[in-house]
Amino acid sequence: MPKSLGQIHTVNYELAITNAQEFNQIDLSGELSKQLQHHVRQGNYFKVVGMDINITENGGNLGDVQMTGFLDYYIPTRGRCAAYRGAFAAMRTAMKNQGIPMSKNSAYDFRVNLTDKSYLVGLKNAATLDGSNELVLQSNGTSHSIFDVHNNSLDPLQVGTPTFSSGFNTLGVQNSPTDFVLNEGDIGFTGNPEFASSQFESIPIQLSYSPQSDSTAISLQWRPDPALYIAVMCGLFQLRVDELDFDGDAEAAKVTIAVHVAGWKSIMGSPDAKKRSKKAAKPSMKSQTTTTTVKKS
């Protein structure tokens, strides 16, 4: 029987923007929990299958608006998911030591920010271990940065320009044997699959709105192949505005975002755990031998 088609959920955001270099956070798990009225946990990766983004003038003034920027997010690599699970385990232990049963409060979910710059918006019910600093996925070496705390416990790591040995002088005539590599440099490979990279994946955006001219308004409408999707760790995006220009009487802009989500899957399980087959074991069909006894008359 063919698998039935799933439902696509649309998460809508309206962001008021007045200056460049602003950071606005998009929280898919929080919005889906409100929309569906059941807890959609943050400890998932979300399957984004489409996106629509446009810009308009905000405030009722006639004028043109142009914006360039990026949508930053993390994909769920092995190291990043391990770092998230490690922070969750630390929180569960800390709450247990204070007599708080984490699983008994149905309103609680372990929720962390994307970066420190997400404080400009703020994540509701954000997790904290010290009571003052919100836990974030990445924050440049601070003690509340999940990726950095996780990476500091890994060994060994290849950092910087790698070293290649020249080995033996097999040709017998070289004063300085070659190492068979030119232009040595750091390509970002750490040599450890558990490393949680802090490098964002980014989607470039260019938007415009021109109500008083014949110029074509520019918006983003993205649809991949129906069988493909973008895996967004924890359902967190960051809208990073690089340039924002106003013409005429325009003074502010409103960015409308619709993110289409086909589903989500947990990142809390171990990737090395063996999966049990749901199929019941079939009885073995062993050949049976029948023995016939003939009585003598």
What's the farthest any 2 CA atoms get from each other in the chain?
119
Please give the structure tokens belonging to residue 241: 């505005």
How far apart CA 103 and CA 106 sit, in angstroms, is: 7
pLDDT by 10s per residue, the chain, length 297:
445 557 899 999 998 888 877 788 899 999 999 999 999 999 999 999 999 999 998 877 778 899 999 999 999 999 999 999 999 999 999 999 999 999 888 889 999 999 887 666 678 899 999 888 899 999 887 789 999 999 988 877 777 777 776 666 665 655 677 777 888 887 777 778 899 999 999 999 999 998 877 777 889 999 988 789 999 999 999 999 999 998 888 888 999 999 999 999 999 988 877 766 555 555 555 545 444 454 554
pTM: 0.82
Alpha-carbon distance of 120 to 143, in angstroms, equals: 20
Separation of alpha carbons 129 and 95, rounded Å = 9
Report the b/e string of 56-80 with b at 16+ CB within 10 A.
bbbeeeebbbbbbbbbbbbebbebb
At 142, is the secondary structure helix, strand, or coil? coil
Alpha carbon distances (Å) from 271 to 45, 77, 89, 274, 297: 14, 11, 16, 8, 71
Amino acid identity at 69:
G
Distance CA 148, CA 157 (A): 13
Burial class (CB in 10 A: 0-12, 13-18, 19+), 253: buried
Q: CA 105, CA 89: separation in Å to the nearest integer?
A: 17
What are the φ/ψ torsions at residue 147 (nearest 5 degrees)?
A: -65, -45
Report the distance separating Cα 200 and Cα 23, nearest Å: 14
105 Cα distance to chain centroid: 26
